[in-house]
Amino acid sequence: MMRLRFVKTLLVLALLGNIIIWHRIWRLFAVQQSPRTSNVSLTTVEAPLKFHRRLARIVTVIIRQFESFENDVAATVESILNSFPTIPILIVCDELPYPPLELDFLNKSMKNVKLINLQPQFNKSFEERNPLFYVRTKYVLILPDATRLSSKQVMQEAISRAGKFGAVSIPVGRGHLDCYSVGLRVKQWSLHLRTIDGDECDAVVGRHATVIEAKTLRKLSDPFLQPFTDALYIQTSALRTKIHITREHRLNEGKPLFRSHQAQWKVVQLRQKRERAMFEKLGIKKVTRASGSVEWYGCSRDTTRCFGSVVNGIPSYLYQNRYTPPCCLAGLRKVAHHVFNRLEEAGVRFWLEGGSLLGAMRNSDILPWSHEIDVGVNRDDITRSPWLAKARSKPVVDSQGFVWEKATEGEFFKVQYSKTNRLHVNVLPFYSKNGTMTRDAWFLKNRDFPEQFLHPMSSIEFAGRHVPSPNNIRDFLEIKYFRGVIENPEIPVKISTD
Q: Please tell me the total count of domains within the chain.
A: 2
| Same domain assignment for residues 186 and 332 | no
Q: Is 311 inside any structural domain?
A: no
Residue 476: how many other CB atoms lie within 10 Å = 22
Q: Is 88 inside any structural domain?
A: yes
Q: At 181, phi and psi to the nearest 5?
A: -95, 135
* Strands in 289-372 per DSSP E: 294-296, 310-311, 314-315, 350-352
Largest interatomic CA distance in the chain = 155
The Cα–Cα gap between 210 and 171 comes to: 9
State how far Cα 80 lies from the chain centre. Answer: 30
Q: Is 289 inside any structural domain?
A: no
Amino acid at 162: A
Amino acid at 296: W
Residue-level pLDDT at 15: 60
The Cα–Cα gap between 24 and 119 comes to: 70
Q: Is 108 inside any structural domain?
A: yes
Of 253, 277, 298, which residue is a domain's last? 253
Residue-level pLDDT at 153: 83
pTM: 0.82
Of 235, 253, 271, which residue is a domain's last? 253
Q: Which of 23-32, 285-294, 341-350, 453-462 has the lowest mean pLDDT?
A: 23-32
Q: Is 292 inside any structural domain?
A: no
**CATH code, domain carrying 92:** 3.90.550.10
| Same domain assignment for residues 368 and 474 | yes
Asked whether 201 and 181 are in contact (CB, 8 A), the reply is yes
The Cα–Cα gap between 439 and 433 comes to: 9
Q: At 134, phi and psi to the nearest 5?
A: -95, -5
The Cα–Cα gap between 459 and 390 comes to: 29
Q: Is 165 inside any structural domain?
A: yes
| Same domain assignment for residues 226 and 136 | yes
At 13, the pLDDT band (50, 70, 90 cuts) reads low
| Same domain assignment for residues 321 and 236 | no
If you average pLDDT over residues 57-76, what whole number do you get?
A: 96
| Same domain assignment for residues 336 and 451 | yes
Q: Which of 34-48, 139-153, 221-235 has the highest mean pLDDT?
A: 221-235
Q: Is the pLDDT of residue 393 over 90?
A: yes
Asked whether 280 and 297 are in contact (CB, 8 A), the reply is yes
| Same domain assignment for residues 441 and 356 | yes
Q: Which of 48-57, 242-251, 295-304 has the lowest mean pLDDT?
A: 48-57
If you average pLDDT over residues 115-136, what whole number do you get?
A: 94
Q: Is 320 inside any structural domain?
A: yes
| Same domain assignment for residues 141 and 231 | yes
Q: Is the pLDDT of residue 25 over 90?
A: no
| Same domain assignment for residues 248 and 326 | no
Asked whether 41 and 48 are in contact (CB, 8 A), the reply is no
The Cα–Cα gap between 97 and 386 comes to: 61
| Same domain assignment for residues 476 and 341 | yes
Residue-level pLDDT at 151: 74
Of 201, 218, 253, which residue is a domain's last? 253
| Same domain assignment for residues 344 and 220 | no
3-state DSSP assignment of residue 349: coil
| Same domain assignment for residues 222 and 96 | yes
Structural domain for 87, as ranges: 48-253
| Same domain assignment for residues 228 and 340 | no
Axis-axis angle for helices 230-238, 261-282 (nearest 10): 20
Q: Phi/psi zone of residue 332: left (φ > 0), alpha (ψ -120 to 50 degrees), beta?
A: alpha
**CATH code, domain carrying 400:** 3.30.460
Q: Is 284 inside any structural domain?
A: no
The Cα–Cα gap between 97 and 66 comes to: 10
Residues of the chain by 3-state class (helix, strand, coil), percent to 5: 35, 25, 40
